[in-house]
Amino acid sequence: MLADAMAPALPQQEKLTKKKLTADHPTWCPGCGDYSVLSSFYKVLERNNLPHENIVAIAGIGCSSRFPYFVNAHGVHFVHGRAVPFATGVSLSRSDIHVFVFGGDGDGYSIGGNHLDHCARKNVNMLYVIMDNQVYGLTKKQTSPTSPVGYKSKTDPAGAIDRPVNPMKKLIANGATFVARTCASNPAHMIDMMERGMKHNGFAVVEVLSECVQFYSNAFDAANPRRGGVFKLIEEKTHDGTSEDENRHDVTDEQAAYKLADQPFPGVFGVFFKVDRPTKNQLEQKWIDSLRAKNDPSDLDILRKTFDRLK
């Protein structure tokens, strides 16, 4: 878009390192799952050596939304729940920028739930990492939209009574084109999911189960083999024609993705859904290009002609 023509050409940069990407020391509690998400993110950036100045980390409000302070890159700490539409503004007006959004379950599924639906529908190009700890941590233990029924919090002393959001189903139903689920206790898998999400052209969401050691400790032990749980991977169809491939998950099959999303806690991990659908970025650019082709190259002449029609 507008920016492309003006961004100065940059020489190939030296390799990005963790040192170059590290900013303030995280303010998270010791043992918080988000540390692991942060180091995995560094790893993704290092591996891909993205131009340093073209990386943007954007967040709303919450423990996990402190993320941009801990990444040495252009960063934004915005208001609660609106990081996604803010990021949309960056993404749509700057195709040269790699847009990363970080947040928690409250930011993403509660106060910002509407924006999540619409960004998914519009398929805006960005990677959104949702660190889901199933509790409000920053405000010290209130029920979150993903808290399971029965979870005792300060706002549900007798146990949560509302049915929790099913993030995978919500995202798939609303049109997100890359929907994956991982867990902070499995960094290798997390890096893989984030990297695939980053490379996906469209709205990519990676939901990360990230434990809050303070207010909901051991919540995700069932998915952690080191604590006696099972990290059950989604086996993706490889289309190799073998008989075992028939039972594997087709990531373009919406109905199959819903079935996976309905598995009881802790569920399965991996890519639930991935399709290629034109992004809003592409569709808007097409509309811009068609109008640019029909109009004068000079802004002054375009407005002059408009005024001529009003005479």
Q: Is 253 in the site for other proteins (CB under 8 A)?
A: no
Q: Is 262 in the site for other proteins (CB under 8 A)?
A: no
- Closer of 89 and 159 to other proteins (Cβ): 89
For the segment 104-163, give every residue that binds other proteins (CB under 8 A).
114-115, 117-118
Q: Is the dihedral of CA 171, 175, 181, 187 positive or negative?
A: negative
For the segment 66-85, give every residue that binds other proteins (CB under 8 A).
68-69, 72-79, 81-83, 85
The contact pattern for other proteins, residues 271-290, with x = CB under 8 A and - = no contact, is -------------x--xx--
DSSP per-residue string spanning 214-274 = TTBTTTTGGG-GGGT----BPPBP-----TGGGGSB-TT-HHHHHHHHTSPTT--BEEEEE
Contact residue for other proteins among 7, 29, 138, 256 (CB under 8 A): 7
- Give the E-state strand segments of the chain in sequence order: 55-59, 74-77, 98-104, 126-132, 178-183, 203-209, 270-274
> Rounded CA gap, 210 and 137, in Å?
12
- Closer of 224 and 279 to other proteins (Cβ): 279
Q: Is 29 in the site for other proteins (CB under 8 A)?
A: no
- Of the candidates 34, 66, 262, 198, the one whose C-alpha atom is nearest the C-alpha of residue 132 is 34
Which positions touch other proteins (CB under 8 A)? 1-3, 6-8, 10, 20, 23-24, 52-56, 68-69, 72-79, 81-83, 85-94, 96-97, 114-115, 117-118, 284, 287-288, 291-292, 294-295, 299-300, 302-304, 306-307, 309-311
